[in-house]
Structure formats: C-alpha cells, structure tokens
A and B are shown apart, each in its own frame.
Chain A
Amino acid sequence: DAGVTQSPTHLIKTRGQQVTLRCSPKSGHDTVSWYQQALGQGPQFIFQYYEEEERQRGNFPDRFSGHQFPNYSSELNVNALLLGDSALYLCASSLAVELAVDNEQFFGPGTRLTVL
C-alpha cells in the first residue's frame, strides 16, 4: 500500500515564474491538505481539498491555488514566485469522515522548492 507520494522531489525556479506541485494521497483517502514548511519553521497550513473543492484555507495569498481531481490526487500552483516562497511543500491526506478513530493526516516526503 503506497503512502502519500509527491512530485517532483526538488525544483528550482526564478522569481516571477509559476510552479505546479503534485500529490497522490494514501490509498483510500479522499482529503488532501497542503502545508508550507520554511527553513527552521513548523509547517503552515495552505489549504485543504475535498470533493474537488477548496474547503479550508490558511493565511496565504491568492497566488497559491490548487486543484483536486476525481481520483483524489491534487496539485498546488504558485504564481509570480517570490524568494520567500522557497520552502518544503508537504502534502497530507486523510479521510473526510471524522468518526474514524484511527483517522489522522499522513504526510508525503515533500517537494523542496528553491526560488532564485
């Protein structure tokens, strides 16, 4: 059973460019959340997708957008990249049903984005 997978592993972009990161959730999971982890910081919540819609959003500008596909996989898009967008981007998957006692968020290995 594959866990959460993310691609690419590393990415280098220049300021002003656009980037797309991809995530495949753990088998059986239908909810995908994205987090940004800057160097030396804890992860910060960007947004969460369920049933192909953005359900929750953190304090991130509109340059950050996402999408969820019918197979539950997800993309994170960042436009007009800034130097400050350099970070590890983590994807987490979970089940939307809250009643599951063993429900928690499983994280992927992340995509390291460097903006020059």
Chain B
Amino acid sequence: AQSVAQPEDQVNVAEGNPLTVKCTYSVSGNPYLFWYVQYPNRGLQFLLKYITGDNLVKGSYGFEAEFNKSQTSFHLKKPSALVSDSALYFCAVSYGGATNKLIFGTGTLLAVQP
C-alpha cells in the first residue's frame, strides 16, 4: 500500500538555525513527492515538488528538499529558519501522475523560537 510517514509530530528550532522536517514514503513505481504548508485556519499552500531530474529541489520561501531513492526519503530543509516559518508541514506522494490523488502524511508542526 502507498503511504507517507512523517516521524516527528513536532520540530523545534531556534530562529536562524537550519531546519529539517523528515518524510519517508512507500510507493510502487516512480513517486511524485510534494511538500505543503498549512497555517492556522487556512488551506494548504504548495512549497515544492519532485517529479524527476535533480534530486535537490528548490521551492518557495527558501525551502528545499532532497529526494533520496535508496532511503525512500524526501526531507524538507531550510538553511536559516524564521519565526514566520512556524506552521504545520505536510509531505505527500502521488503515484501515476502529479494530478492523481495525493496521499498525505500526518503532518509535522514546526515551531521556530525567536
């Protein structure tokens, strides 16, 4: 079965420090991988995606993610965290195409302390 795991319910980081939000996936075939961010009482905002090509993907707001096929991971990273990055982050996978149904992880709450 296709699945996504976000092993950390919450990640705490000090402002200015690098951050990593972890994601691993299980899917047959070639995955399409996504990161979305959700602010309180808001919908999901697209951050970045991996479809094919370079394993390091750069996205919005200075975020990037690295696709690692051997470890089936797609961790979200940012070199220097901002307080405004505090939000709920979701990793998602789609198989068979970018517009097919997305399977989401349970989310990781990122808390950036000033």
* A residues with CB within 8 A of B: 4, 31, 33, 35, 40-45, 48, 56, 58, 90, 92, 94-96, 98, 101, 103-110, 112
Q: Are A33 and B101 within 8 A (Cβ)?
A: yes
Q: Which of A31, A90, A94, A98 contacts B44 (CB 8 A)?
A: A90
Q: How many A-B residue pairs have CB under 8 A?
A: 63
Distance of B27 from chain A, by nearest CB (Å): 14
Q: Is the interface of A mostly helix, strand, loop or mixed?
A: loop
Distance of B54 from chain A, by nearest CB (Å): 13
Q: Of all chain B residues, which has the CB nearest A96?
A: B99
Per the CB 8 Å criterion, the residue count for chain B at the interface is 24
Q: Are A45 and B99 within 8 A (Cβ)?
A: no
Distance of B9 from chain A, by nearest CB (Å): 9
Given contact pairs A31-B99, A105-B102, a sample of 10 additional A-B residue pairs in the complex whose CB atoms are under 8 Å apart: A33-B101, A40-B106, A41-B106, A43-B44, A43-B102, A48-B100, A104-B34, A104-B46, A105-B46, A107-B45
